[in-house]
Amino acid sequence: MRSANEIWEAALGELQIKISKPNYNTWLKETTGISYQNGTFVISAPNIFVAEWLNARLRSLVAKTLAGIIGGDVDIQFVVHGPEQNESGGLVCNWQTDGGISSKIKKTRLNPRYTFDNFVVGRSNRLIHAAAKGVAETPGHIYNPLFIYGGTGVGKTHLLHAIGHAAIANGFQVICISAEQFTNEFILAIRESKTEEFRNRFRDAQLLLLDDIHFIDGKEQTQECVFHTFNALYNASRQIVMTSDRPPQVILSLGDRLRSRFQSGLIVNIEPPDLETRLAILQAKAKQHKLKIPDEVLRLLARELKRNVRELEGGLTQLVAYAKLTGASLDHEMAAKVLAEVLVPDDYKKTTSPDFIMQTVANYFGIPTGEISGRKRDRRTTHARQIAIYLMREESQYTLSQIGKQLGSRDHSTVLHSYEKIAKQINTDAHLQEQVSKIQQQLHTAEPSHNKMKSGKRSQKL
């Protein structure tokens, strides 16, 4: 048997050939293979940025490479070792466990970096920042529930944890849990016939912070459990805060009861930051990590990396890592080179596949992918179909007639009509604009294969 480290060395050898040299040097060079047990291969990265980047961008390639070497499917986990270990390990919520089922419910960790102090406020997040602070000070009184939604990497989890830190400092009992973790623990409770006990644990919380609530979409039993937990807390004037990648009205399976409860509080959308905020974030990060970076370099990054804060942070780390490795000085010229060579990974240059567009649109509207090309004509399906057509024209290289074919033999003029309808309406309809840009964000930020996996998971009912 080869050790995990030997297997990883072999994988690195292959990965070095598969990806560009700058990418390899920045992201993989300093990783090590930690363990391989029960089908999970654990890889250590030098810091949280690298771990997150690897997880978002190279996960499937790494899994494939390892599977080839090991000879079977492998799950991948990226962890952080070294000086930043504590940072990623985080704090435990002040939620006591006392044996029984509760001790099996994983204590949720708050990332110590995710505080209000470290959160840069700008035009795109001013309202939600104020609401979040208010909730942490007087939970249960204003904005209950608080529903935060927005695309990936815009700071939802950061704000949720910031509320957690501040509320704990104010002496409140906090439970912070991701919807995925909630679901897993709930399944465990069902298996052990301890659902009542499971629910009671949550009822003790003064604040319940639920991350990525869209995860329960389509999982009927979990949804029912969330509803009961929610009601119990809400009726006792406890504070509930939720984050989601989409607004409550498009989480189809929430059901009317839960949806109207969600809508009775404050629902806020966090937009990707504007240029000024992006620059402020970069300046804050540079200061936080004691990095001396010329302002013109930060400006260049802020101008180019528009999609979200995670991308912005990744860009900064990559630039610094690259400068360290090559010994080059961190100037405008070097930054431009890194941006061109490294920061625009191949995934971005490729046009998006029409299948992936249909799948993402269907997922967003909570309808089966097949209905985009099907014959149903209710409002939601028709609207989703028109948006899919619009995006196929904008984001893929398909011609109108190819799009028509893709959509179950619809003719060229029908396709054009749908495209033009959306193209015209998008200029005046803010809600439509928002829907389309959210879907585009998902198309641009997700690795296609990764996304397919995710949507597969979503369709599972529980």
What distance lies between CA 318 and its chain's CA centroid? Answer: 20
Q: How far is the CB of 158 from ligand ADP (least distance, A)?
A: 3
| Contact between residue 404 and residue 437 where contact means Cβ atoms under 8 Å apart | no
Give dist(CA 341, CA 326) in Å, integer. 14
DSSP calls for 32-58: EEEEEETTEEEEEESSHHHHHHIIIII
Q: Which is nearer to ligand ADP, 158 or 219 (CB)?
A: 158
Pattern 85-114, binding to Mg ion, x per CB under 5 A?
------------------------------
> Contact between 367 and ligand ADP (CB under 6 A)?
no
Exactly one of 23, 31, 65, 125 binds ligand ADP (CB under 6 A); that residue is 125
Q: Tell how strand 40-45 and strand 32-37 pair up.
A: antiparallel
Q: How far is the CB of 118 from ligand ADP (least distance, A)?
A: 6
Give dist(CA 101, CA 112) in Å, integer. 27
Q: Which is nearer to ligand ADP, 152 or 396 (CB)?
A: 152
Q: Which is nearer to Mg ion, 45 or 270 (CB)?
A: 270
> Contact between 210 and ligand ADP (CB under 6 A)?
no
Q: Which is nearer to ligand ADP, 288 or 382 (CB)?
A: 288
Give dist(CA 251, CA 247) in Å, integer. 7
Give dist(CA 394, CA 438) in Å, integer. 14
| Stretch in the footprint of Mg ion (CB under 5 A) among 8-16, 154-162, 252-260, 401-409 | 154-162
Q: How far is the CB of 393 from ligand ADP (least distance, A)?
A: 28
Give dist(CA 361, CA 439) in Å, integer. 7
Size of the site for ligand ADP (CB under 6 A): 18
> Contact between 440 and Mg ion (CB under 5 A)?
no
| Contact between residue 195 and residue 147 where contact means Cβ atoms under 8 Å apart | no
| Contact between residue 29 and residue 62 where contact means Cβ atoms under 8 Å apart | no
Dihedral angle at the C-alpha atoms of 359, 340, 59, 83, nearest 10 degrees? -140
CA-based R_g, the chain, Å: 23
Structure tokens at 442: 């998902």
Q: How far is the CB of 429 from ligand ADP (least distance, A)?
A: 25
Helical H segments across 354-411, by residue range: 354-365, 379-395, 400-406
Q: How far is the CB of 309 from ligand ADP (least distance, A)?
A: 3
> Contact between 152 and ligand ADP (CB under 6 A)?
yes
Q: How far is the CB of 124 from ligand ADP (least distance, A)?
A: 8
Q: Which is nearer to Mg ion, 22 or 272 (CB)?
A: 272
Give dist(CA 73, CA 39) in Å, integer. 7
Q: Which CA distances in Å does 461 have to 20, 112, 253, 255, 388? A: 40, 34, 11, 15, 25
Amino acid letter at 376?
K
Exactly one of 120, 131, 208, 422 binds ligand ADP (CB under 6 A); that residue is 120
User: Taking CB under 6 A as the criterion, which residues in 262-301 touch ligand ADP?
Assistant: 281
| Stretch in the footprint of ligand ADP (CB under 6 A) among 168-176, 189-197, 308-316, 355-363 | 308-316
Q: Which is nearer to Mg ion, 209 or 389 (CB)?
A: 209
* Residue 310 binding result from ligand ADP, Mg ion, none, given CB thresholds of 5 to 8 Å by partner type: ligand ADP
Pattern 154-193, binding to ligand ADP, x per CB under 6 A?
xxxxx-----------------------------------
Q: Which is nearer to ligand ADP, 157 or 396 (CB)?
A: 157
| Site residues for ligand ADP per CB under 6 A | 113-114, 118-120, 125, 150, 152-158, 281, 309-310, 313
Interface residue list for Mg ion (CB under 5 A): 156-157
